[in-house]
Amino acid sequence: MPFFSQNRENYVTTLAKLFEYANDNYAKRPLSRFVEGGQEYTYDSFKHKCLELSHRFNRFGISARDKVAILSNNMPNWTVAMFSCVPFGRVTVPILPDSSESEVTNIINHSECKAIFVSKRLIKKLSQEVIDKLTLVIDIETFDFIKKDDKAFTCEGHGVDPQADDLASIIYTSGTSGKAKGATSARTSSRPTTPRRPGSTTAGSPSCRCRTPTRWRSACFTRCTSEAASIIFKNRPHRAS
């Protein structure tokens, strides 16, 4: 077992370190799946899928500090989409699935996203104008391309080992008093946070944060992982530049 596994309190300080720590220490253990089957990952297969997607971004010139939107309902692949970006310095822009088409357009334009993961159910919320501006549109359920800009295939993209105060996500408000405004989140861990031991809690149980019914265990995983990520973030809310 690597040295840092004995010193996780000092090692796990960012989401990138959490990604590395969890995959190193729990590689063969189950991570997530739909109860009915599908989108099933161990920590090791999760890591390799994230790396595969990160390399795909590199090939299309999408580098560290570039923005990637996620428009989808809860599913195991939502977390894959997030961790294909954040540990490598890219910035995620999660969009609420009940956002209107105009809200989605405003968020993508304002944040200057270069790519988006989107479910087939929600792709109707992307206008053709928005799709034309994006370098990549990726089906989050299969990770197949819905749209790709072949002119951007330069293999010039790159990731970085992000620093604690680097931008990790831009999370937009609901926009109830006007257009949605972005709150930026850095990568600093406000306290050491590591994954629960697999099997230590059951979706829908009192120890599970979101208390999602057991049949939607994949949604529980994604929601609680996202909540854990928000705990890790050292929030500095202000309007995104």
* Alpha-carbon gap, residue 80 to 58, rounded angstroms: 16
Give percent of the chain with pLDDT exceeding 90: 48
What pLDDT digit, counting tens, does each position of 26-72 carry?
888 988 888 877 888 999 999 999 999 999 999 999 999 999 999 99
* Alpha-carbon gap, residue 156 to 152, rounded angstroms: 9
What pLDDT digit, counting tens, does each position of 169-211 carry?
998 876 555 555 544 444 443 333 333 333 333 333 333 344 4
Q: How far apart are the two ends of the chain, measured CA to CA in Å?
A: 42
- pTM of structure: 0.72
More confident residue, 185 or 212: 185
